[in-house]
Structure 1
Amino acid sequence: MSPTGSAGDVHVDVEGRTLKLSNLQKVLYPATGTTKGEVLDYYARIAPVLLPHLAGRPVTRIRWPHGVQTMSFFEKNVPAGTPSWVRTAEVPTTGSRGPSRHGDTLVFPIVEDLATLMWMVNLAALELHVHQWTVDEGGEPLGADRLVVDLDPGEPAGLHECCQVALHAREALSARGLDARPVTSGSKGLHLYADLSSYLPSEEVTSVAKEVAEELAEAHGSTVTATMTKAKRRGKVFIDWSQNAGSKTTIAPYSLRGRDRPTVATPVTWAEVEAGAEDELGLDQFGMADVLRRVDDQGDLFATD
């Protein structure tokens, strides 16, 4: 990107697209003093590994226009003023399951290039959430191509307990022919992803994830729950199987989180998960600089051959 303009408002050329980036000095993370310009820099630098995991997936954004200490809002449809060159997909509100009862649709952005990513992040879209299904070149939903298991700890349980449960979940998924990859959520927990050999209806994938969750809850009832009721989660790890539903989304790997500090949903190795299971301090959530260093050193741990 080649910027021109004032310190807080610049025009940049991004792969042939001219973008106006505004309020670069605005602090979006007061606890760390992290500015909008630094957030844009992170997303520009992480784009080579982030964009392949957004490709073909409608993106739901959570925006914090005035920083994470203030109100945020979800945005699914593309906003007014969206550049004409931004690729979009009009899909049923029920996601990949076919037309909704009332024929309602949503017009999502599809983020597959740096210019679209920078345009989106300039709108203070700190969190990028995606479905487990993709769309084809014409914007038609193809079905789910992966399964996700969200390990969400109820206090006082934390990432340490999530790592322990992740090892059980890895076995349960492996028994079903699914090879799981771990990603710290950037919040409190851990996500496990498993690629599918073909596109499947979201209901079918949800059923498998729920089966895994209930199996582990039965086998490890003192530490695991498959019940969504928050009152029953205290001290346990909730295995959220519902994020495989056609209408649900999960934070994208390498996306920032809108928490006190700029943590990132970070792909990790199973050796790191095992260390986290052994030691309460064995694994922690990662920040922007950590993730950029990890990618420089290890490449994209979420990539598949």
Structure 2
Amino acid sequence: MPAVEVAHSKKRTRRRDSESTLRYPLPAFRQFQLCKLTEDIPVGADWLFEMKFDGYRAQVAVSGADIVVYTRNGHDWTRQFKVILPPLQSLTKGSALIDGEIVAVDSQGRTNFSMLKTGIAAGMPLKFYAFDLLELNGEDLSGRPLIERKERLADLLGDRDPNDSLQFSTHIADNSKKIFDAMCAGGHEGVIAKRADSRYLGDRTAAWLKIKCIKRQEFVIGGYRSSDPGGGMASLILGTYENGKLIYRGRVGTGFTEAMRNKILAQLEKRRLDRPAFASVPRDIARRARWVKPELVAEVTYSEVTPDGSLRHPSFEGMREDKRADQVVMEVAKSEAAPATATLDPGIGKGIAGAVGVTLSHPDKVMYPDTVVTKATLAAYYASVAEKMLPHIEDRPLSLVRDTNGDLQKTFFQKHKLPGMPKAIHDGQLEKMSGKESRILWIDDLAGLVAGVQMNVLEFHVWGSLRQQPDLPHRMIFDIDPDEGLGFEDVKQAALDIRGVLEAVGLQSWPLLSGGKGIHVVVPLVPQADWEAVKGFCQDFAELLARTDPSRFVANMSKARRKGRMFLDYLRNGQGATAICPWSTRARSGASCAVPVTWDELPTFKSASAFDVFAAAARAQQPDAWEGYFYVEQVLTERIRKAVR
């Protein structure tokens, strides 16, 4: 759209709603001022630098308590963004047209677009960062210099509580390189540079620039998508190796010339495969994919890696012939890695509880002695890990460990409904293999986790089956329970040995730091064998280890017989037995959590309680340590069962 000259100080006609109240009409939507992408960072005091937010651009029209939220295309999304309205409705008795960005902020203080999409659907807390003021009390400010508009915006917004959904987007003049480097080091998307004297023209001009933080590395080509017309190459399907497996990292479809596409396609056609070499691929990607042998390597630039491990904004740079495909791993710079701790804002926890329909009584109650972990902190924690935790807990019969007095000394186990339970924790009935009816509890969303927090639940334990298929377990667990005299090094070595034996009989497994003193070795299953077969296999497996290495293992739970050895607890694999759910907190001092880890990193941990809620929340923002867990298809066959008898 061409630039439009705007007259200064043009005021709208006021209207009188009553004899004592004058009101300005609701400002109309305007075309947004847009940024030009550049790799060159401007310098000089005549440039203002702001954070580049990863959210939804929005204009907010205000007239007293009347609010309309406009999207970039001028659509009215007031209803979708109702969570940001309260502070705007009390902002002024006059009128204003404010430009800004609606964002969700993750546990590390970064704006997160994936989380924003979830937040809109769930009504979770969002923030509106205001960075420009186009109209105030009927006066058109778009022709005024940006620095003046921002000063008047700051005066209008006043001092805001950090937890308020309305915030002023601050800026810094000059120091461009230092600001950009700091943003990139903090894992942010980049910066916006704006000329301090620029007018608001409703067009894409060089007065506003965006500079992205770009990352670059090699990726293995494991397949491609063809163009709909003509069958050419539309995009490459990329991966990196992790623990010997090719892990899907997304697709790249930009950065190619037509000659490049044809040349690469000719190389790919010589390497066609019927099945993917990847450990797993999202179904919507696999439907239209053509697979190739993972032999070719491409260099790709990208802005960031999403929490599920895929590339954002990738662009093809060229082919690499100086590196073997099996040497390509995901490079994670120190600035990209999640820190050892993360901020779990109690204010966010309170907002999340309200958003999911759970009332937190006494939200500031400390749940772990000598910590800052409150009920509201735990609500924020479960919101930060929900994406990874829910697949392990939803629709599975539950047992809950609840605290009674806040000192971890009086906890109790709950398997059935009690009076006063929130509705988000469901109650029902199923029939066991024995023919007996059993009352059960289950949850199926974040509201259920937060409802547990309200009930002082400190541990979520789950069955190994779904409530819809109670006779067919989806996993089995080997819980390594060491004698008190043994150290964690012994437990880690035992877990690695168990993994080796399982691999020898044809079963993949994943390690879980229990948050207590042991490790769980978890084996996912296609639900075909019943509980008797699974429990029988686990008992035979434990007795095999006890026979072949009696100095280290015992298959009898007697404390007297366990002296100096480890009990491999197979009893968690019976119908009705439970085990701690991945990502659950534990009823132990320090607010430790049960956290999935990889086999490669297991030797680096000093204890099974290596993660408290803050470290676990940061961990949950990284790619999944149990990549492929829900995709593996392995069955407990009679051949495997016989192998351990």
* Normalised TM-score (structure 1): 0.85
Match of 1:122 among 454, 470, 484: 454
Match of 1:256 among 566, 575, 585: 585
Say if 2:376 is the partner of 1:37.
yes
Distance 2:630 2:357 in 1: 33
Larger Rg: 2
Moved more, 204-213 or 35-44: 35-44
Contact 1:181 1:192 in 2 (8 A): yes
Say if 2:624 is the partner of 1:299.
yes
Shift in Å, 1:91:
2.3
> How many residues align structurally?
288
Residue type of the alignment partner of 1:50: M
Residue type of the alignment partner of 2:435: P
Give matches, 1:86-235, under 5 Å.
86-92=425-431, 96-100=432-436, 104-108=437-441, 110-136=442-468, 141-235=470-564
> Which residue of structure 2 aligns with residue 270 of structure 1?
599
**Structure 1: runs of 5+ lacking an equivalent:** none
Shift in Å, 1:228:
0.4
Say if 2:361 is the partner of 1:25.
no
Residue type of the alignment partner of 1:107: I
Distance 1:40 1:85 in 2: 14
Contact 2:350 2:379 in 1 (8 A): no
> Which residue of structure 1 aligns with residue 419 of structure 2?
80
Match of 1:57 among 391, 396, 412: 396
Contact 1:55 1:111 in 2 (8 A): yes
Residue type of the alignment partner of 1:297: Q
Contact 1:127 1:257 in 2 (8 A): yes
Distance 1:234 1:29 in 2: 32
Contact 1:58 1:89 in 2 (8 A): no
**Structure 2: runs of 5+ lacking an equivalent:** 1-123, 126-162, 165-345, 632-645
Q: CA RMSD in A?
A: 2.6
Contact 1:160 1:283 in 2 (8 A): no
SS at match of 2:408: coil
Higher RCO, 1 vs 2 (CA within 8 Å, ≥6 residues apart): 1
Distance 2:494 2:452 in 1: 35
> Which residue of structure 2 aligns with residue 289 of structure 1?
614
Contact 1:184 1:190 in 2 (8 A): yes
Distance 2:549 2:604 in 1: 20
Moved more, 56-65 or 181-190: 56-65
* Normalised TM-score (structure 2): 0.42
User: Greater helix percent: which structure?
Assistant: 1
Residues 244/282 of structure 1: CA separation in 2 closer, same or farther (3 Å cut): closer
